[in-house]
Structure 1
């Protein structure tokens, strides 16, 4: 028998990651697979990276690159790009990037965006963050390109992240599983999530896991780092998502961009004023 812990979308939530790792150890997993988006939305990203280094020293680990990792890689390459602190769309990016070393970004840069895992006596498994070919392409079953995408995947089982919802579905004879998100899962009632992939007599089966953890501590750490000031709107979105498990960053961003376009005729995320962010957030979250 095999037991593989599969974790995705940590987003810098070291408290949730610590809880998931502890549970995986209790359940005596054999190895870990991490599906990308390791940091980006919470305080002290080095805590998350240190936990990943520790687990890599103790277990076989496989790491995949997510779209968040591309942000840090591309920003290092583009010296003209400005991420301003105090602004909702860029403040969290600026904060996280300031905490990274070149060796951290080198590590991200070496990660593949997908891989095929081989286990004797078991079917091969494709692993990725978004899709096997694009880190930011969601494999949600309701997207119109999913059938076409299935034709390009060589294995009958795919493990993916990116859309933050625990899900197990089949399409065109292939099984797609999202383990949920460790850091900011959707529709989770605020619990952290991961999956154990069980292998028994040549057959894979998923076990979804959701756990309570100290969300208040995560929010307090964000405030101690002044992320409510450095990235005001982003902090509010993250806090709401941590506490409720509902309304993603992407949903808010889309509504903000739509409102800004209706009022200005422009579609530039970095130029959207804070009052637009505040109006949308207050409407969605009843923030005062």
Structure 2
């Protein structure tokens, strides 16, 4: 079975459309979204509409939860978020806030006998950062009941084996932190013999479109520049 995993779209409709174009070419059996549909980018409602139209199983991200709350519940209170959070909370339609609030915080799948847990941050909380070389990640992987943990939130693609467990992060569709303005997502292929193959896809897209839209809406310069640099 072939699964595409996307995460951290953050209101970037152009990146999401490009991602789905590529996913369609890869002929996957299932696409799963790890959350953070909104926040930062200028097209949160359009992103939600496209995810719903494709009937994508989706998790609640920390920015999704904070936009619903209208407060810095699960995100950092910094200069960019002091603009981006109230903007998104005001922009996201009430019906879409209801959709975001109804999303689960984890999904469990058993595929060909391989058990997979999908989360946004960590199995403990939606806003915990799991980096492959950090102690908290090691502790979580040691106690993981499933065979694979797939999480987002860091915006950095990762793959690491912890003994007989796999740790996977697909990176970010709409707000990369890889030093390039490119989309990243992951494809997991699990065969009938429980063999797991993981590939990362990195895609270029016309990021100048979102730069133009953000400038027209008077987004902060640092936020606009992050789409060009692929940094936070």
How much does 1:153 deviate?
A: 1.8
Alignment equivalent of 1:184, drawn from 175, 181, 202:
175
Are 1:53 and 2:52 counterparts? yes
Alignment equivalent of 1:151, drawn from 116, 136, 142:
142
Q: Name stretches of at least 5 consecutive residues in structure 2 with no aligned partner.
A: none
In structure 1, the residue matched to 2:96 is: 104
Tell me the alpha carbon deviations over residues 15-73 of structure 1, each in whole angstroms, 9 at most, x when there is no partner: 000000010011111121000111100112111112112211xxxx3211110011023
What TM-score does the superposition give when structure 2 sets the normalisation length? 0.90
**Which of structure 1's runs of 4+ aligned residues deviate more than 6 A?**
none
Are 1:219 and 2:211 counterparts? yes
Q: CA RMSD in A?
A: 1.9
Query: Partner of 2:223: helix, strand, or coil?
Result: helix
> Aligned equivalents of 2:132 and 2:186: distance in 1?
19
> Aligned equivalents of 2:155 and 2:4: distance in 1?
16
1:100-249 matches, within 5 Å, as 100-119=92-111, 121-201=112-192, 202-227=194-219, 232=220, 236-246=221-231, 248=232
Query: Partner of 2:188: helix, strand, or coil?
Result: strand
Higher-Rg member (1/2): 1
Are 1:93 and 2:92 counterparts? no
Q: Name stretches of at least 5 consecutive residues in structure 1 with no aligned partner.
A: 249-288
How much does 1:116 deviate?
A: 1.1
How much does 1:211 deviate?
A: 0.6
Normalized per residue, the structure richer in helix is 1
Query: Partner of 2:158: helix, strand, or coil?
Result: strand
What TM-score does the superposition give when structure 1 sets the normalisation length? 0.73
Aligned residue-pair number:
226
How much does 1:5 deviate?
A: 1.1
Tell me the alpha carbon deviations over residues 81-128 of structure 1, each in whole angstroms, 9 at most, x when there is no partner: xx9xxx744221121111222221221122121121122x23010100
> Aligned equivalents of 1:102 and 1:154: distance in 2?
37
In structure 2, the residue matched to 1:284 is: none
